[in-house]
Structure 1
Amino acid sequence: MIVEQLGLKDFRNYAVADVSLSAGANVFIGRNGQGKTNLVEAVAYLAMLGSHRVSHDAPMVRDGTDAAIVRARLAHGERTVLLELQLNRQGANKARVNGVNVRTSELPRYAQVVLFAPEDLQIVRGDPSARRRFADQLIVQRTPRMAAVLGDYDRVLRQRSALLKSARARGVRGDALSTLDVWDDKLVTLGTEVIEARIALASALSQPVAHAYEAIAGDDHRPRLTWALSVGGGDPEEDDAIETAGSALPLAEQFRASLAARRSAELERGLTLVGPHRDDLVLEVRGLPVKGYASHGESWSIALALRLASAELLRAESRLGDPVLILDDVFAELDTGRRARLAEFAAGYEQVIVTSAVEEDVPPELRAHVVRVEAGQIREPGDE
């Protein structure tokens, strides 16, 4: 897949922007705060239905306006498709494909992007929510219909948690709260599908992560990915982790039994304590958890390996061709050896987009098409 044209209106610091991109390597050069990352954020949103920088859409809408527009013309081989997204400060977003209105959840069917940025260190060093978010965004790219499943799960979770809070406030006992059983059924059905998709993802990423880590770090530190599940009886959110191999019971039965066992605690706290929203993706190198044990270089390597492995996985499975590989402000953080190895790895993709404050930080093979960004203005080669 190739992004041929990107247009923005009232997105971040861009009143209007229009930029042409080419196959192969593209690099946005500009001082910090000029809008380089805003450009790649817009591209990535079409594929991931979210930003890698903020959890809500409102910050992406330019101050003083009610909506931002992102338009992208994509090439899938000989076929082109025009995606249009309207991000609203309030209310639901809107989307169109080739001028036809569609649900926003349809956009990842046409756009596949893998973006690595310094914020991705939080996948390794941050709390479990960062790792869940990484996994869920990739799951949606692999299987777009999972966007609806994840959305439905979040809605059921909010409804169930609201019921628990209300019951706690009214002093209602668990055996007198029959309506909770209805929400339990929905939570188990949807949550089981999410957990199964996450476990399948960890399995599929295992070899690509090992390959990418060795390619970037130059060493085989035996990276490993496993899920710690709250349905196993622990609570990964509170560092009480139970990995996937804990029970012979079917997953849905484990889920239901764990909900029953923790109902009193849930009513006491007014909080849903069991489900994929409490799980954690455990990352290891050299047989030790990355979080708390890995060096700075190892942390960078495993975070980068997760993204590069994602790109390899999508490349192997997708009918859209290669995903667009975006490296946002990455090279300044890498030593010379890692820069060279990353450039070699990335150069094989149909399209790579790099951002950097310093042009010389980017290896020459990734500087085929240079676009300069100054205060929300695009300066392409040939512009005065």
Structure 2
Amino acid sequence: MHIRALTLRDFRSWEHAEIELSTGPTVFLGANGNGKTNLLEALGYLSTLGSHRVSADAPLIRTGADRARIGANVVNLGRELRVDVELNRGAANRAQINRSPVRRPREILGILHTVLFAPEDLALVRGDPGERRRFLDELCTARRPALAGVRADYDRVLRQRSALLKTAGRSGRAELGTLDVWDGHLAAHASVLLAERLRLVHELRPHVTRAYAALAPESRPATVAYRSAALPVEVLDPDRAPEPDDPALLEQILLRELAAARSRELERGVCLVGPHRDELDLELGATAAKGFASHGESWSFALALRLAAFDLLRAGGAEPVLLLDDVFAELDRRRRTALAAVAADAEQVVITAAVPEDVPAELAGTTLRVTTTGDPEHRISGISGDRPPGTGPAVGDDPPRAVSSESSAP
């Protein structure tokens, strides 16, 4: 799988851009603040319908614009598809496949697979459980795009049930019949999501262990495990792969736990049972990585999680595009070498860096330089670069084909 072309309009700092990409490594080179990361963020958004930097879409729309647009031509197994997403300020987002509108943006999921590694990934180890749940859910959805609908339904039911709990708690009376109905909806959607998470963690564990051992052979062995207060130990057994009928079993367990937690939920006005409260435990030997791992160990674990995701998607037949956002400057020689070896073998890897020295020699290829001109209040960026023979003209040749307005934060 690879991206042949990327189009942006009013996305972050980019007023307009049309960028041709080739297979192999492509490096966006330039000083910090020029908008390089925004390009990788746009590609990641097409893959996951989310940003790795912010939780809402509003910051992605350029200051002064009402909407932003991201589009790409994606080639997979010889077939090319055009995918576009329009982010609207104050209105629903829209999407197209081959220029034809689709009912919901999530219908584009699965067309482009990416694995993005960025400095923000340190939060996978040191951040709150929501970071790790998001990692699991995005990887689950990449493997099974239909899960996006399950996640959306679960979030909707969770909001509505939580609102009912707050209302019932304040009024001093419980709408028991209504809560029973919402319990059923919550358990039905949660069981499917939980089954996918458990299956993913089971398959991911050996990949994480191998990747971490290659990055930090002198460290303790790394592993991952799923933790849920609602599920019994035998269901969470890390050596047990979930069976196809597990969602039905999980649904019954969740219904039982919801009933047992009813009085506590009414008292607190929050939903205490469900995958929104679960955790992915990261362990080094017999010790939790969070709070105990060194800075180098934390970087290794974060990188191991991303490399494991890349290996797992590739093993499933979906060769992902590897996106590396200014990460080589953060890594020591061993970690740089391990990451570069994986990247050099990828069908397509897109890299951002501030200086050429930050890019390993084996990833030399297409280099596109992101530069800016103009005053500090309204900087304009252009892209230029030297491309290997046979890859076509450079983006940004005279006249420039990719420009950016830096009137908003990069």
User: What interval of TM-score do these two structures reach, taking the shorter chain for normalisation?
Assistant: over 0.9
Which residue pairs with 1:66 in the alignment? 66
2:121 partner amino acid: D
Verify: 1:337 aligned to 2:334, yes or no. Answer: yes
Conservation of the 8 A alpha-carbon contact between 1:35 and 1:374: no
Alignment of 1:1-384 (within 5 A): 1-102=1-102, 103-173=104-174, 176-219=175-218, 221-232=220-231, 244-245=236-237, 250-318=249-317, 320=318, 322-375=319-372, 376-381=381-386, 383=397
Quote the Cα distance in structure 2 between the aligned partners of 1:171 and 1:123. Answer: 40
What's the % identity of the aligned pairs? 49
CA offsets per residue over residues 16-56 of structure 1, 9 Å max, x none? 01111111111111111110110001111111111100111
Equivalent residues of 1:11, 1:68 under 8 A apart: yes
Q: Assess if the C-alpha contact under 8 Å between 1:222 and 1:287 holds in 2.
A: no
**Counterpart of 2:113 in structure 1: which amino acid?**
Q
Structure 2 length-normalised TM: 0.87
Shift of the 269–297 alpha-carbon distance from structure 1 to 2, 3 Å rule, reads same
Aligned-residue offset at 1:287: 2.1
Quick one: distance in 2 between partners of 1:353 and 1:108?
A: 20
Which letter maps to 1:73? N
Corresponding letter in the other structure for 1:139: C
Contact 1:228 1:242 in 2 (8 A): no
Q: Given the superposition, is the C-alpha separation of residues 15 and 189 from structure 1 closer, same or farther in structure 2, using an over 3 Å criterion? A: same
Distance in 2 separating the partners of 1:190 and 1:219:
42
User: What displacement does 1:220 show?
Assistant: 6.3
Q: Measure how far apart 1:268 and its partner are.
A: 0.9
SS of 1:377's equivalent? strand
- Please state which structure has a larger fraction of its residues in helix: 1
Moved over 4 A (4+): none
CA distance in 1, matches of 2:38, 2:195: 34
- Aligned counterparts of 1:369 and 1:200: Cα–Cα separation in 2: 38
Deviations 1:98-153 (A, max 9, x none): 11112311212211001011111111111110000010011110000000000000
> How far does residue 213 in structure 1 lie from its aligned partner after superposition?
1.4
SS in structure 1 of the partner of residue 182 of structure 2:
helix
2:213–2:222 Cα contact (<8 Å) kept: no
With over 3 angstroms needed to count, the CA separation of the structure-2 counterparts of 1:38 and 1:242, relative to structure 1, is farther
User: AA paired with 1:374?
Assistant: T
**Amino acid aligned to 1:231:** A
Whole-angstrom CA distance in 1 between matches of 2:167 and 2:177: 14
Deviation at 1:243, TM superposition (A): 8.4
Kept in 2, the 8 Å contact 1:199–1:227? The answer is: yes
Q: TM-score, normalised by structure 1?
A: 0.93
Instruction: Determine the C-alpha separation between the residues in 2 that align with 1:253 and 1:46.
Output: 36
RMSD over equivalenced CA pairs, Å: 2.0
Q: Deviations over 1:208-256 (max 9, x none)?
A: 11222122224463211111113138xxxxxxx998249x993222211
Question: Aligned partners of 2:286 and 2:185: how far apart in 1?
Answer: 37
CA change 1:244–1:77 in 2 (3 A) is closer
Q: Distance in 2 between matches of 1:302 and 1:243?
A: 25
The answer (yes or no) to whether the contact 1:227–1:243 under 8 Å persists in 2 is no
Give, as a single letter, the amino acid of the residue that structure 1 aligns with 2:140. Answer: I
Write the distance in 1 (CA, Å) between the matches of 2:355 and 2:262: 55
Q: Distance in 1 between matches of 2:79 and 2:57?
A: 30
User: Could you tell me whether the CA contact under 8 Å between 1:105 and 1:147 is conserved in 2?
Assistant: yes
Tell me by how many angstroms 1:172 deviates.
1.1
Q: Is the 8 A contact 1:325 1:349 kept in 2?
A: yes
How many aligned residue pairs are there?
372
**SS of 1:153's equivalent?**
helix
SS at match of 2:345: coil
**Distance in 1, Cα, partners of 2:202 & 2:91:** 37
Distance in 2 between residues matched to 1:126 and 1:139, nearest whole Å: 20
Is contact 1:114-1:307 (8 Å) kept? yes
Q: CA-to-partner distance for each residue in 1:256-297, whole Å, 9 max, x for gaps?
A: 121111111111111001000000000111221110111111
